[in-house]
Structure 1
Amino acid sequence: MKTLLTLLLVTHIATGFIALLVGLIPMFSQKGSRLHNRAGLVYIYCMITVAVTALLLCGLQPFKMMRLFLTGIAVFSFYLCFTGWRATKNKKGQHTTIDTALTYGTLLVGAAMIGFGTYLLVQRGLSFMPIVFTFFGGLTSRFAWQDYRKQREPALKMGWYFQHFIRMGGSYIATFTAAAVTNVPRLLPANAPEWTATLIWIAPSLLGGMLIARTVRYYKGKFAAKSSGMAIS
């Protein structure tokens, strides 16, 4: 069992590290190019491996709250990655049984994180774990609920494009956050206030969210200008 756990942990760390490196390539390469697509697939395979190994490590080892939380983040990151990739395959809004099942499953995970965070809030008061469980549980539920609604509505023009880079970007942010919170606290002094740990968890999501929102505005303006030019001509 010890050998298996070591193998799972090494695989989890290695694929997470590769995902962080390879995930930068699609961001800065030409959209739709061979490099963009190939690097994106490598990132997706890495994130699948990260999620599976996280679930196994959580289930095969004694309960620890941080381990449980990191597993929830792995599920969240995988869901964003998978739905971002599926957006390029479902440009007209088609959804398979796998898409629907994954959405329902992720809704349950998000609700469980919110519920557990609320329970911790009652038990411990306003502290690190209740805040991050509730915060990321809310994010997980929000994205899954969006997909639940979209599966019952007509597909928007170019909606798949925005979903693709929003979800892939969100997945990268979640993966970066998990890596940061695992390693950065080791560099902080022993008497660092508790709020610094909370900031490490939340700051990447806030900053990354602003960058993604800026990108959305850029491409919406670009598509609007293109449509306007075609209409005039």
Structure 2
Amino acid sequence: MKTLLTLLLITHIATGFTALMVGLIPMFSQKGSRLHNRAGLVYVYCMITVAITALLLCGLQPFKMMRLFLTGIAVFSFYLCFTGWRATKQKKGQAAPLDIALTYGTLVIGAAMVLFGTYLLVLNGLSFMPIVFTFFGVLTGQFAWKDYQKRKQPTLKMDWYFQHFIRMGGSYIATFTAAAVTNVPRLLPANAPEWTHTLVWIAPSIVGGMLIGRTVRYYKQKFASKSAGMAVS
């Protein structure tokens, strides 16, 4: 068992690190190029492996609150990554049975995180862990619920494009955050103020969210200008 856990941990760390490195390539390479597509596919495979190994490590090791929470983050990051990748295969909104099953499964996981966070809140009062469990549970469920509702509505033009880079970007932010909260506190001095630890949790989401928002505005303006030019001609 010890050998298996060691192998799973090494695989989890190696694929997580690879995802963080390779994930930068699609962000800065030409969209739709071979480099962009291949690096993105490597990132997807890495995130699948990260999620599977996280679930196995959580189930095979003694219970720890942080381990359970980081497993939830791994599932959340994987779901964003997978649905972001699948958006390029579903430009007309069609969904395969696997997509539907993952949506339902993620809805269950999101609800479980919210319920567990609420339980911790009742048990221990207002503290950091109940808040983050509930917050990320709501966030996870919200993305899955949006996908569930979207399958009942007509797909907007270029909706797949925005879903692709928003979700892939969100997946990278979640993965970076998980890596940061696991490793950065070890590098901080023992007497580091509490706000530095909180900053590690929120800074990636703030910075990453601003960059994604800026990218959305850029491409909306670009597509709007292109549509206006075609209408004039």
Same structural fold, with TM-score higher than 0.5 when normalized by the shorter chain: yes
| TM-score (normalised: structure 2) | 0.97
Q: Which residue of 2 aligns with 1:131?
A: 131
Shift of 1:120: 1.3
Shift of 1:220: 0.3
Moved more, 152-161 or 207-216: 207-216
Distance in 1 (alpha carbons) for counterparts of 2:88 and 2:183: 34
| TM-score (normalised: structure 1) | 0.97
Distance in 2 (alpha carbons) for counterparts of 1:91 and 1:156: 9
Q: Which residue of 1 aligns with 2:224?
A: 224
Q: Which residue of 2 aligns with 1:157?
A: 157
Moved more, 58-67 or 126-135: 126-135
Query: What is the 5 A alignment of 1:23-172?
Result: 23-172=23-172
AA partner of residue 187 (structure 1)? L
Q: Which residue of 1 aligns with 2:183?
A: 183
Question: Structure 1, residues 98-152: CA drift from partner, whole Å, max 9, x if none?
Answer: 1111001101111111111122122222222112111211211111111011111
Question: Structure 1, residues 158-215: CA drift from partner, whole Å, max 9, x if none?
Answer: 0000000000000000000000000111122223344433332222122211211111
Distance in 2 (alpha carbons) for counterparts of 1:208 and 1:23: 13
Q: Which residue of 2 aligns with 1:16?
A: 16
AA partner of residue 116 (structure 1)? F
Percent identity among equivalent residues? Answer: 85
Structure 1 stretches lacking a partner, 5+ long: none
**Structure 1 vs Structure 2 CA RMSD:** 1.1
In the alignment of these two chains, the number of paired residues is: 233
Distance in 1 (alpha carbons) for counterparts of 2:112 and 2:196: 25
